[in-house]
Amino acid sequence: MCAAQAANRTGVSSVNAPLTLGRNTALFIDVDGTLLEIAPHPDLVEVPPGLPHLLERLAGERDGALALISGRPIADLDRLFRPWHGAAAGLHGIERRRPDASRAESGASPADRAAAAALDRLRPELQALACQRPGVWIEDKGRTLALHYRVVPEAGPEIRDRTERLLREHGDGLRLIPGKMVVEFQPGHHGKGGAIAAFMAEPPFSGRMPVFLGDDTTDEEGFAEVNRRDGVSIRVGAPLATTAAAYGLPTVTAALDWLAGSRTG
């Protein structure tokens, strides 16, 4: 891979030209905010024409070593990107599908059961909070719970304060991850870094250099995991005061252009 200007942990550099991605790279890509522009509601995102074909091309060039790493369920990714049907980690790593379509199942461990019970306790509490704040709504993904406040950004401090209190009171086995106008309760033992590590332990990803593109707080674990493996971590969007990503691309459009221009050497 050709060099790009590096950055320290307090900011990201811009990737000034497409890096040359060799055949020995493994691509891991977040979805919302990275491949797709964030919409007021997750169901309102627009998939750029040609993006499913681009994913198929990038995966094919790497013998299938491309995985989407998303907070969405895998079924949602299949709906958005059909006919693409490749490797993916959904719900921040709770779900994982390999390139051969086999599944790495989770949900039966004591930690999974404790997290599910905590989410059951939180559902009525979050519903009450949403009812008190017009414009705030719950996205229930079954094994995670997200509270969105994109249309009322001024509610952010209150939402974060109250959900942190709910985590302390009811959230055994969970963690609370802040995102772009959203907070999400997730099982504490799952995350995007762990999903990337699991893929890297299996073919066709094993032995390759990992490259991860993401845009949000939930992607920081993925950046750290890729850095630990001497890979390439790229944050999409405006620079943050602190990030584990070593490189940056300013917009979703720039990320798509970078991916489209990357050819195997």
User: 130: buried, middle or exposed (CB in 10 Å: 19+, 13-18, 0-12)?
Assistant: middle
Concatenated DSSP letters of 64-129? T-EEEE-SS-HHHHHHHHTT---EEEEGGGTEEE-TTS-B-----SHHHHHHHHHHHHHHHHHHHH
The structure tokens listed for 16 are 């000034």
Annotation says 30 is catalytic: yes
Instruction: Give SS3 for 155.
Output: helix
Contacts of 140 (CB under 8 A, 6+ apart): 123
Catalytic-role residue among 30, 76, 216, 219: 30
CB 64 within 8 A of CB 87: yes
Q: Measured between alpha carbons, how far is residue 184 from residues 39, 58, 164, 209 in Å?
A: 17, 30, 11, 30
The structure tokens listed for 34 are 């990275």
Shortest CA distance to 73 belongs to which of 104, 56, 94, 55?
A: 94
Gap between the Cα atoms of 255 and 160, Å rounded: 30
CB 212 within 8 A of CB 69: yes
Catalytic residue positions, numbered = 30
